Chains A and B, each alone.
Chain A
Amino acid sequence: MDSNTPLPNGTSEVVLRAKKLNVYYGSNRAVRDVDLDISENTVVAFIGPSGCGKSTVLRCFNRMNDLIAAARVEGSITFRDDDIYAPNVDAVELRSRIGMVFQRPNPFPKSIYENIAFGARINGYKGNMDELVEQSLRKAALWDEVKDKLKQSGLALSGGQQQRLCIARAIAISPEVILMDEPCSALDPISTLKVEELIQELKQQYTIIIVTHNMQQASRVSDHTAFYNAEATEKGNKIGYLVEYDRTEVIFQNPAQQKTQEYISGRFG
């Protein structure tokens, strides 16, 4: 079998741990036997060819897969030692602790201010809303660009600004983990750079998992990298699995697996 062992990490605490994670869509298994530990205040990159289940695994961590009727999750995921798929766990509460940023910026068709305030309000935020909006926008490096037009629509911003607005919206509710699914794939290089700088900033406070197709991005922003691949089954569909998970330098300079070496050197995928 593959060396898909969780990353041994001496010091910091494990925030999320997947064990024998299998995800099915209907009768198709999309991902098999993923074992993975995510430690506190690290940035973990998920890389691998399209369709190998990166988004699927990512969505397991905040139970967004619950919203897909056909999706079924087996195995376990623990968040600070609590099984998040246990029957008594409230997915709504979980999602307020594990935020998500999507591939395409999806600001609400409301004002910039309201985009940030919405999450805070529904989660019962009792503090000063104006301050929270400003803080969140500052953390997302967007404040200077929008401070004079908070009442304008979030949709009137550029794609890169919209994505930072979505990040601001996610951090406004102080999650412990932020999941990002190819957050820069719809952005131009300058916006991408800004988001990357932002991720570096956010790392001080949050644990981040980022799916990316951009090798440079993975090596620039992440501490650890998980490489996924897919293999065809007899039935003709593909099953994704975790090939190798290690410190990012190791994955990019000295991977243990042949497949990883081939992928990062651009020989397939």
Chain B
Amino acid sequence: MIAQTPPSPESASVAAERPYYPNTSWRYGLDRLFVIAIWSAIAIAIAALGLLLFDILLDGLPTLSSQFLQGFPSRSAERAGVYPALLGTIWVMLVVMFVSFPLGVGAGIYLEEFAEDNLFTRLVEININNLAGVPSIIYGLLGLFLFVRLLAPITGGRTVLSGGLTLALLILPVIIVATREALRAVPDSLRQGGYALGATRWQVIWEQVFPIALPGILTGTILGLSRAIGETAPLIVVGAVAYISFVPEGLQSAFTVLPIQIFSWASRPQQPFHAIAASGIIVLMIVLLLMNGAAIYLRNRFQKERL
């Protein structure tokens, strides 16, 4: 209605009577309030993290030496080292990575792009979402039964392989869900563009959809791996032992991991062990940073390639 009459000097005064009350000062106030709220949230989170880091560096740095990195567990805190646990963590995380990434991404692709929407897939979907919330100790029990006992001929019992597979199961739901979310975010128009050129389903997924989803998938994988590297409970159930005087030499070696070693030191009454527990935490954080750094580097590379 307004568009049909050209604006005239009177229409300005008419505009004042429009039934709208923009109340911008109130809305801008709300804006500022929101900014303050999120800044405080960030500040609190970072302060807590900083305090924690500071505390640990203070406790742990003095005892963080090359001898500590290369040493084996010992009855005396001065001679104790983190070497077997460090290698154990690396071994276990390699297993976790090589198992959970292809399996999780594969399952996610299948569920999102291939599976028909029927009762079965919906059941699977609900279960996967629920599995993401199952306490990790339950996975430990599953790992104990499945990998340590049932598949003992393959895994060799309480070994790196059993531990890695257990953790891989633990983070599988995270990776599957992240993969599906990432695939779902790829606009359908791209799939149609691919199909309209005579691409097969696999070509559309592999060449058009997957590269775009990959950064999101890697983000989910980072989250999953970060969770796995800090897990203690399931590995204790599966049979990682804290006192180990050799380094794992293969998938079928007995092993321990950093969190278990840290836990065992921290739970001793003597103060010197608390200090080396802090040193262990620093080592764990460095491994975590390296791992995530690699994943983030990969993600950024793919994002750049996408143009």
Query: Chain A interface (Cβ within 8 Å of chain B)?
Result: 62, 64, 67, 69, 92-97, 99-100, 102, 104, 106-111, 118-119, 122-123, 152-155, 166, 169-170, 173
Contact = CB atoms under 8 A, between A and B. Distances in A.
B196 A99 contact: yes
B193 A108 contact: yes
Interface in B252-307: 306-307
B31 interface: no
B94 interface: no
A111 to B, nearest CB: 6
Contacts of B212: 109
Given A69-B117, A109-B307, A95 B192 contact: no
Interface in B168-195: 187, 189-195
B195 A64 contact: yes
B197 A118 contact: yes
B11 interface: no
Interface string B116-142: 110000000000000000000000000
B67 interface: no
B307 A122 contact: no
A92 B193 contact: no
A67 B195 contact: yes
B307 A153 contact: yes
B-side binding surface: helix, strand, loop or mixed? helix
Contact of B193 (A62, A93, A102, A155): A102
A41 B191 CA distance: 28
B198 interface: yes
Given A118-B207, A122-B207, A153-B307, A170 B189 contact: no
A102 B198 contact: no
A93 B197 CA distance: 9
B33 interface: no
B200 interface: yes
B192 A106 contact: yes
A69 B114 CA distance: 12
Contact of B196 (A100, A107, A111): A100
A117 B253 CA distance: 50
A91 to B, nearest CB: 9
Contacts of A92: 198-200
A169 B194 CA distance: 10
Given A104-B189, A108-B208, A155-B307, A96 B197 contact: yes
Contact of B307 (A62, A93, A152): A152
A119 B307 contact: no
B65 interface: no
A64 B196 contact: yes
Contacts of B200: 92, 122
Contacts of B74: none
Given A69-B117, A122-B207, A95 B307 contact: no
Contacts of A93: 198
Nearest to A172: B197
A241 B116 CA distance: 31
A79 to B, nearest CB: 14
Given A153-B307, A155-B307, A95 B193 contact: no
